[in-house]
Structure 1
Amino acid sequence: MDNVGIVVDDLDAAVAFFTELGMELEGTAEIEGLWADRTVGIDGVRSAIAMMRTPDGHSKLELTRFHAPTAIDSGPLAPPPNTLGLHRVMFAVDDIDATVARLRPHGAELLGDIAQYEDSYRLCNLRGPAGIIVALAEQLG
């Protein structure tokens, strides 16, 4: 897999959120033209993207803000975790409490609580940019 794409309404805020999570901005670009229209399947595509990379370089998120045509809302902005489609993106973190605290000023809201799974992990789901669910996992021991 090369990357996971997420459409956002505020590209700068999304970049700040994922930077705070430990990702690195690999680059930005303005996307438009016939090749973009044909790839996406929409005429008149004009968008800005930011490619975010995990510190180990193995995973990426492509954050996209559509200038044209305007992004559409396909349902509630904050769908529940059991909504069909892309469910969440999970990140391994060293300190889940500190990570949640750092993300709160960027709009992160816990969906439930931080919970422990056996003696293996502390886990949580939170709402991130554009209403997506971001899961965090802290391995114990």
Structure 2
Amino acid sequence: MALRMDNVGIVVEDLAAAIQFFQELGLELEGRSMVEGEWAGRVTGLGDQRVEIAMMRTPDGHGRLELSRFLAPDVVADHRNAPVNALGYLRVMFAVDDIDDTLDRLGKHGAQLVSSDVVQYETMYRLCYIRGPEGILVGLAQQLS
């Protein structure tokens, strides 16, 4: 059986800010649309729903991120400030060529390091977690050799 992960979904309040943040990271906006109606609610179990989505694609075309802004029904929980050891969704991690440049660019969009610095794992990686717009937890990894 062939298996391919299609996308990771993140619910946001400010769709435009989230799109800008992930574009700065290097993802490309594949498209925006409204997903609504009874058929969509049957998929999610939410009943009649209205959701504005933006599909972001990694430059290599293999990974996608679906950003969703729920208009109806109302959002019922807020995990934006959950610590990294909370149950459920943790983070999405991206491999980057230059972690310092990436942090500088994302900092202009409000990204902040979760800890005080970027950590080096042996001679293989430099790693960090950042909080992006609305507290979205994002991991960055730079392979060193």
Assess same fold via TM > 0.5: yes
1:64 maps to which residue?
Answer: 68
> Match of 1:84, SS?
coil
1:31-110 equivalences in 2 (<5 Å): 31-75=35-79, 77-110=80-113
Q: TM-score, normalised by structure 1?
A: 0.95
State, as a whole percentage, how many aligned pairs show the same letter: 60
Task: Work out the CA distance in 2 between the residues paired with 1:32 and 1:114.
Answer: 41
Q: Identify which range, 123-132 or 77-86, moves more after superposition.
A: 123-132
| 1:54-104 Cα deviation digits (max 9, x unpaired) | 0000000000000111212245x3111000011110000011011011001
CA contact (8 A) 1:19 1:25 kept: yes
Q: What is the TM-score when the length of structure 2 is the normalising length?
A: 0.93
Output the CA distance in 2 between the equivalents of 1:5 and 1:98. 26
Q: Specify the alignment match of 2:20 in structure 1.
A: 16
Question: Which of 130, 134, 138 is the aligned partner of 2:134?
Answer: 130
- What displacement does 1:117 show? 0.5
Question: Hey, what's the Cα distance between the residues in 1 that align with 2:47 and 2:69?
Answer: 16
Segments of 5+ residues of structure 2 without an aligned counterpart are none
Runs of 4+ in 1 over 3 A off after TM superposition: none
CA RMSD of aligned residues (A): 1.0
CA contact (8 A) 1:7 1:130 kept: no
By how many angstroms is 1:129 displaced?
A: 2.8
- Report how many residues are paired: 140
Q: Which amino acid aligns with 2:20?
A: A
Unaligned residue ranges in structure 1 (runs of 5+): none
Conserved in 2, the CA contact under 8 Å of 1:88 and 1:135?
Answer: yes
